[in-house]
A and B are shown apart, each in its own frame.
Chain A
Amino acid sequence: DTGVSQNPRHKITKRGQNVTFRCDPISEHNRLYWYRQTLGQGPEFLTYFQNEAQLEKSRLLSDRFSAERPKGSFSTLEIQRTEQGDSAMYLCASSLENRGNTEAFFGQGTRLTVV
C-alpha cells in the first residue's frame, strides 16, 4: 500500500496525558499537512511542512501542540496535557509540489478521544 499511513488509528487517553501520532506520507512527497476534524465539521488546517521545514501554523495550533518532520519523511504530531476539547480526528495529507499542480492525498486519520 503506497498511500498515506497514520498510526494509531484510534487513541483513548486520560485528560492531562501526552499523546503522539505518526504520519507516513506517500514516498517522495515533499509536502505534508496536518488537519483536525471534529464531529460534523470539515477538516481544519493545522500546519504544513515542505520537506523538513514547518512553513505555516494555524492559530488553532496552541502551544500544547507540536509537529515535527525531522528528515523530511514521516511526521509526528504531539499534544501535551490533553484536554477534552482535543477529541477529534487528526488527518494527515501529503502532496508533491510540481509547478503548482498539486493534489493532496489524505490518510485515514487518527481518532483521539480524551476522557
Chain B
Amino acid sequence: GDSVTQMEGPVTLSEEAFLTINCTYTATGYPSLFWYVQYPGEGLQLLLKATKADDKGSNKGFEATYRKETTSFHLEKGSVQVSDSAVYFCALRRGQGAQKLVFGQGTRLTINP
C-alpha cells in the first residue's frame, strides 16, 4: 500500500542554519505530495505541495521538489528562524480521484536562538 517515510526526529538547529527534512514515498501511479506543519497548540496547516514530477512547491522560504526518479520530496529552507519550530509532516494523495492523505510519522523541529 501507499506509504510515506520521513527522517526521524527530533531535529534541533540554531537560528539561520540550513534545514533539510527527508521524505520518501511509495505509491502506485502519480501521487500529489504535500508538506503540512503543526505549530504548538494549532491544527495542521498546508505548507506547500507539488502535483507532478519536477514541480517545486514553495512557501514561507521553504521549498520541496517532487523527484519521481528517487520517489522523494525533501523539505528545505536556507535560513531557519525560531518561529519555524513545529512538527512537519510529509504526505501524499494518490491521484485526483483519491481522497485520503497518507502521512509520514512527522519530524519535530526545534530552532534555538
Residues of A within 8 A of B (CB): 3-4, 31, 33, 35, 40-45, 48, 55-56, 58, 91, 93, 100, 103-109
User: CB distance A42 to B104 under 8 Å?
Assistant: yes
Looking at B4, B45, B49, B101, which has the most chain A CB atoms within 10 Å of its CB?
Answer: B101
Known: A103-B46, A104-B46. A45 touches B101 (CB 8 A): yes
Tell me the complex Cα distance, A55–B101, Å. 15
Q: Interface size class for chain B? A: 20 to 34
**A-chain residues with CB within 8 Å of residue B102 when the two chains form the complex:** 45
User: CB distance B103 to A44 under 8 Å?
Assistant: yes
Residues of B within 8 A of A (CB): 4, 36, 41-46, 49, 89, 91, 96-97, 99-106
Known: A4-B43, A106-B45. A42 touches B96 (CB 8 A): no
B contact patch SS = loop
Q: Total A-B residue pairs with C-beta atoms closer than 8 Å?
A: 51
User: CB distance A40 to B105 under 8 Å?
Assistant: yes
User: CB distance A108 to B42 under 8 Å?
Assistant: yes
Q: Which residue of A lies closest to B107 (CB)?
A: A42
User: CB distance B101 to A104 under 8 Å?
Assistant: yes
User: CB distance A42 to B103 under 8 Å?
Assistant: yes
Q: Which residue of A lies closest to B36 (CB)?
A: A106
Tell me the complex Cα distance, A55–B103, Å. 20
Looking at B45, B97, B99, B101, which has the most chain A CB atoms within 10 Å of its CB?
Answer: B99
Known: A4-B43, A103-B46. A42 touches B89 (CB 8 A): yes
User: CB distance A108 to B43 under 8 Å?
Assistant: yes
User: CB distance B99 to A43 under 8 Å?
Assistant: no
User: CB distance A33 to B99 under 8 Å?
Assistant: yes
Tell me the complex Cα distance, A105–B34, Å. 13
B47 to chain A, nearest CB (A): 11
Q: Which residue of B lies closest to A41 (CB)?
A: B105
User: CB distance A43 to B105 under 8 Å?
Assistant: no
User: CB distance B96 to A55 under 8 Å?
Assistant: no
Q: Which residue of B lies closest to A104 (CB)?
A: B101
Looking at A3, A42, A43, A44, which has the most chain B CB atoms within 10 Å of its CB?
Answer: A42
